[in-house]
Structures are given as structure tokens and as C-alpha cells.
Amino acid sequence: MIRSATLTLQPTLAQITDNSRLRLFSGSANLPLSQEVARYLGMDLGPMVRKRFADGELYVQIQESIRGCDVYLIQPTCGPVNDHLMELLIMIDACRRASARQITAVIPYYGYARADRKTAGRESITAKLVANLITESGASRVLAMDLHSAQIQGYFDIPFDHVYGSPVLIDYLSSKQLTDLVVVSPDVGGVARARAFAKKLNDAPLAIIDKRRQAHNVAEVMNVIGDVSGKTAVLVDDMIDTAGTISEGARLLRQNGARQVYACATHAVFSDPAIERLSSGLFEEVIVTNTIPIPEHRRFKQLTTLSVANILGETIWRIHEDSSVSSMFR
């Protein structure tokens, strides 16, 4: 079951109906999320033809006039990353050639975000390359959620709105009325994220896991900085990929006396062998959002999926109305 977030401001159907310039379209990456966003805004997704030719090439055609309109294209660049990224670029180009007034790429999950700097010689900074591709294809603005590195916003030479999935995660955890909470960052790089999360959870104490990464998708956990003994530990990260880091962190927390361990992340990438690790009994619950669709065969009993559709819908409405986005998270 996917639960919805609750926000204080929601546009009425009459508001949307009166504003004939707003158009919403969805790529193929996460159609259910796009449909939820459309319902929040009280409108329908625009008609569009998507198909693949025999040689694998993608084809996109917008099926209504968007001349002079403000177009929002919802497409997370999750797996298969290259296909979904290329589809987004073609959608943007199609809207540009159809004389859209403004084109906003709504990217709930930004693929290639971890390739945000050079860590060795002769490497590509692919996050920057993707930013260039989106900009050059004709996007006027980008809306993304929980970037792996906030610096990626600076890779774009067009306006960029960065929003967060943490409100729905925090609301859900608060509703569970857990006691003796400690928020845990799975690595030093995630301390700022975990600290902000802890502050929203009634200033819960913070702990940090010190680790040494030996290779891509391989993490060696060393020790815990902070007191977790007898506490309910909440591991917070932006994404769960192979679940190596977060699972080793949970094991270490249990060894250090944590009574319960919960995992929270915005993006459920869930590459193999993530499901096996997450369902092994280390976690009371694994709480994620629906920025990336999770097929039924990859679900497990400890998994809870929360919807970020209202946050994205509210942000789209505020951008369209030239209202403040940052005030949503104060």
C-alpha cells in the first residue's frame, strides 16, 4: 500500500480549470506517480504517443496543442536509466519544437547523481553531462527530489528547484510514536541529511557510522560514533541501491545494543541483492517513497512505501503560480 502525504495548501479544481496554460505529461518510467500528481492538481495527464521501433529507437509525439503553454514532464531517470533518460530528452525536444512557452523537467529520481565528481583520473563527471543534455535539449527549468549531492543544482544553467521527500518519512515515523529514538547517518557524507532529519523528529540524538569503502557498491563498516544501546535506531539515507551500506550499518547497530533498527530512504533503487539483504530480519521496517516504482515481485513484508505525489504536485503548482517553494519545508 502506498500512503499519501498531507500538505496544508492544495489548489482547487476551479483554479486549475481557469489556468489553461498548465500541461502535465508523463514518461513511461513511473506512470502511477504521475497519475497521483495529476489527481492532486485536479487535472488529467496530457495525451502522448510513445513507442519503440524495431531497432530500439524511441519515438514520442505530443497529442494536443501546447503552443504557449507551461509544460511539466514527469520522468524519473531510474532503471533502465539510459532508456528513461533518452525518453526524457526526446519529450523535452518534442515540446520545444511544439512551441511550449516553458518546459519543466520533473525528475523525482536523478540518475547518474553519484557520478558528481572525479575520484580518479580519466573519469567522467556524468551528473554534469546529464545536466548539459537536459539543458541543451530545451528544458527551461528542472524540479528534482533529494539529489545525492546538492551541488548538482549548480551543474545547471537554468532554474533548478530541489525538494525533499523527508516530510512524508518524518510524518510516518512520528505517527508510530517510537520511543528512545536515535537517528543514524550510514556514513560521514550523510551527516547533514541525518541531522536535519533528527531535528524534525523532536531533536532526536544523532549517531554516525564510520565506514571505509573498498570498491563501488562495496562498503566495510568500522564503528559507531554515538550511543545507540537500548535505543530505536533510524538509519537515514537518500537512496538504497544494493543495500550493502545500510545492511552492514544495521548489523553494527545491533552489535552495539540497538533495540530496533528502521531504515528510511527517499529512493528505492533496489539493485540485486538488495531485497535479500533488506528482508533478512535486520530491520523492523524499511520505509521508502515512490519516486521509483517497485514491482510486486520486489516487495517484502518489512517494506513500507509512502507517496510523494502531493509534494511534487504542490511544487508544480507553486512554480506555475510563481510562489515560494522553500516555504513548504519550513
Judge whether 285 and 268 are in contact, CB under 8 Å.
no
| Beta carbons within 8 Å of 236's beta carbon, 6+ residues apart | 183, 184, 185, 186, 190, 193, 194, 197, 264, 265
Residue recorded with cell 545500510: 246
Query: What are 14's three cell numbers?
Result: 476551479
Judge whether 120 and 87 are in contact, CB under 8 Å.
no
Instruction: Find the helix or strand (DSSP H, E) in which 70 lies.
Output: strand 70-74
Burial code of 170-209, b = ≥16 C-beta within 10 A, e = fewer?
bebbeeeebeebbbbbbbeebeebbeebbebbeebebbbb
Residue recorded with cell 507553486: 318
Query: What are 319's three cell numbers?
Result: 512554480
Is-catalytic flag, 211?
yes
- CA gap 170, 165 in Å, rounded: 9
Catalytic residue among 176, 199, 211, 301: 211
Residue recorded with cell 511544487: 315
Which residues form the catalytic set? 211
